[in-house]
């Protein structure tokens, strides 16, 4: 894979600095500011504004065509920042108009840094357009591809999904609170009540507690059937037995609370259904990405997880490798040092918090279900003497580097370091924190006895 800077160097070698035009575009809501330079930094078009409408686009392309023809140029390189959704329209239309052109996206932080290096501390559109063109000449930026529209859509859906998930948790807590008031003790008698099908059906029926208290097993079965739900007689008996124990507070506030609970449940059901629809849309969008099917084979990576990874990265193409991504989300080790003083090694935690949390959760599932990651984790704990939390974070680092490699190459999960490919994808014993404490207490970790490494494989 050719590096970004090497790519532009090769273009200069092939065509020469004067035969390549760099079109820097600063996009905004109502107009775009454009400047054109060649490889020698000659300004062929001073920063000019063009409207976002078709008329403005034609005016821009006419200017580009005229300069391209007059300068006898052979290559066009376009670049802009991926600002909101504004860049998609102009870049997509330019790509359609100039199919042979090269299209790059510039990180806004790079633009700001470049602007400051040029001693331009005031942000203006003309300065930004020039700074973007300068970065293009220096080989900065990552490719704008057809997948960018997909990445943008995934990001929007994930943003909505995250807000709905947060709202769903809030509503669930409210439901528990009202259930405790209206049906005091019912959830204690029926464990995991709201997580079961019959419990969720109960929330949509919401029988009056005074009536429920005197319902028999048969009455509860009929009540469920009347509302279009099925319930096993055994479970109906459990509800009946639990309801008879309830101490009901008979006052006017009970009716109000029952009404509030009904509204909250309706809102919760709506939120739940919307989340399911979003998951369906995300699955469709992931199906448009060539690499998604391979990555979803990794246990611990499902539709929502992969969608969140893509959304939080804001386009995986802007990273050269998994190491950069691990650093971006704070999954790299950090050790503070000053003179002879050496601090303890720990995870930096400086980076994208949501992405880091998503990867750590995925790593937990992968370590519990895939031998390759289990062995990696076990080796860190047993041989490396790492704390389990540090080991799982290191496994998350390993996981994202593998995922980025699969995105870049399109390869399936097939770790080259695995000695046994079948064992690498199977389930093997994981050294849990509880088991580790037991082994340490028995003083067996110090000797690293063979039976420990046999039970908790450290190589696959």
Give the model confidence (pLDDT) of 188-221 as tens digits: 888 888 889 999 999 999 999 999 999 999 999 9
- Beta-carbon contacts of 277 under 8 Å, excluding residues fewer than 6 positions away, are none
Predicted pLDDT at 386: 87
Q: Kindly report the number of other CB atoms within 10 A of residue 386's CB atom.
A: 17
Q: Under a CB-based contact definition with an 8 Å cutoff, are residues 342 and 334 in contact?
A: no
Q: How far apart are CA 249 and CA 182, in angstroms?
A: 8
Q: 173 falls in which pLDDT band (50, 70, 90)?
A: very high
Q: How far apart are CA 365 and CA 354, in angstroms?
A: 17
Does the pLDDT at position 30 exceed 50? yes
Quote the mean pLDDT of the chain. Answer: 89
Predicted pLDDT at 86: 86
Walk me through the domains of the chain, giving residue ranges and CATH numbers.
4-144 (3.30.420.40), 153-283 (1.10.287.4070), 293-455 (no CATH)
Q: 346 falls in which pLDDT band (50, 70, 90)?
A: low
Dihedral of CA 224/228/234/238: which sign? negative
Give the pairing type, strands 20-26 and 31-38: antiparallel
Predicted pLDDT at 1: 47
Q: Per residue in 99-156, pLDDT tens? A: 999 999 998 888 888 777 776 656 688 889 999 999 999 998 899 988 888 999 999 9
Q: Per residue in 60-96, pLDDT tens? A: 999 999 999 999 999 999 999 988 788 999 999 999 9
- Beta-carbon contacts of 378 under 8 Å, excluding residues fewer than 6 positions away, are 429, 430, 431, 456, 457, 458
Q: 2 falls in which pLDDT band (50, 70, 90)?
A: low
- Beta-carbon contacts of 17 under 8 Å, excluding residues fewer than 6 positions away, are 38, 39, 40
Predicted pLDDT at 177: 92
Q: 349 falls in which pLDDT band (50, 70, 90)?
A: low
Predicted pLDDT at 63: 96
Q: Per residue in 292-338, pLDDT tens? A: 999 999 999 999 999 999 999 988 888 889 999 999 998 987 665 55
Least trusted range by pLDDT, from 134-138, 160-164, 411-415? 411-415
Predicted pLDDT at 334: 67
Percent of the chain with pLDDT over 70: 92
Least trusted range by pLDDT, from 25-34, 83-92, 228-237, 363-372? 83-92
Least trusted range by pLDDT, from 22-36, 158-172, 415-429? 415-429
Q: Under a CB-based contact definition with an 8 Å cutoff, are residues 151 and 310 in contact?
A: yes
Dihedral of CA 387/393/396/397: which sign? negative
What burial letters (b/e) apply to 178-200, b meaning 16+ CB within 10 Å? bbeebbeebbebbeebeeeebbb
Which uninterrupted H or E stretch holds 286?
helix 252-287
Q: Once rounded to an integer, what is the mean pLDDT over residues 153-174?
A: 95
Does the pLDDT at position 392 exceed 50? yes
Predicted pLDDT at 459: 86
DSSP state of 384: S
H helix and E strand count, the chain: 21, 10
Q: How far apart are CA 82 and CA 87, in angstroms?
A: 6
Cα dist from 323 to 119, 192, 335, 399, whole Å? 32, 41, 17, 11
Predicted pLDDT at 444: 62
What does pTM read for this prediction? 0.83
């Amino acid at each position: 894979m050719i590096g970004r800077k090497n790519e532009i160097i090769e273009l200069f070698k092939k065509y020469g600095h004067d035969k390549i035009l760099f079109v820097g575009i600063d996009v905004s809501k109502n107009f775009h500011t454009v400047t054109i330079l060649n490889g020698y930094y000659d300004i062929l078009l001073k920063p000019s504004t063009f409207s976002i409408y078709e008329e403005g686009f034609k005016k821009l392309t006419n200017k580009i065509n005229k300069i391209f023809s007059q300068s006898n140029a052979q290559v066009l390189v376009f670049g802009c920042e991926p600002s909101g959704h504004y860049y998609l329209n102009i870049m997509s239309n330019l790509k359609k108009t100039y199919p042979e052109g090269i299209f790059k996206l510039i990180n806004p932080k790079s633009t700001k840094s470049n602007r400051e290096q040029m001693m331009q501390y005031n942000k203006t559109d003309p300065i930004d357009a020039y700074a973007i063109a300068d970065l293009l000449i220096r080989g900065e930026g990552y490719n704008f591809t057809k997948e960018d529209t997909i990445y943008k859509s995934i990001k929007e859906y994930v943003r909505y999904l995250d807000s709905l998930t947060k709202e769903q948790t809030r509503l669930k807590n409210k439901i528990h609170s009202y259930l405790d008031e209206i049906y005091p003790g019912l959830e204690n008698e029926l464990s995991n009540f709201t997580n079961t099908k019959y419990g969720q059906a109960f929330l949509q029926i919401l029988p009056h507690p005074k009536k429920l208290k005197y319902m028999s097993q048969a009455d509860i079965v009929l009540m469920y059937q009347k509302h279009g739900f099925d319930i096993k007689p055994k479970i109906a008996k459990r509800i009946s037995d639990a309801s008879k124990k309830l101490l009901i507070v008979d006052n006017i506030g009970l009716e109000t609370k029952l009404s509030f609970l009904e509204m909250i449940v309706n809102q919760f059901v709506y939120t739940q259904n919307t989340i399911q629809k979003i998951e369906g849309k995300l699955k469709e969008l992931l199906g448009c990405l060539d690499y998604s099917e391979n990555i979803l084979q990794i246990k611990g990576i499902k539709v929502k997880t992969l969608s969140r990874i893509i959304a939080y990265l804001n386009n995986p193409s802007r990273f050269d490798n998994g190491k950069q991504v691990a650093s971006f989300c704070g999954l790299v080790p950090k050790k503070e040092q000053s003179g002879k003083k050496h601090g303890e090694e720990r995870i930096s935690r400086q980076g994208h918090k949501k992405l880091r949390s998503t990867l750590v959760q995925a790593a937990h599932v992968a370590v519990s279900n895939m031998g390759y990651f289990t062995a990696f984790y076990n080796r860190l704990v047993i041989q490396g003497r790492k704390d389990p939390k540090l080991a799982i974070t290191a496994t998350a680092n390993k996981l994202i580097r593998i995922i980025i490699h699969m995105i870049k190459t399109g390869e399936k999960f097939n770790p080259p370091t695995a000695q046994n490919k079948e064992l690498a994808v199977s389930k093997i014993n994981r050294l849990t924190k509880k088991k580790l404490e037991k082994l340490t207490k028995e003083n067996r970790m110090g000797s690293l006895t063979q039976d420990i490494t046999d039970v908790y494989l450290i190589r696959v």
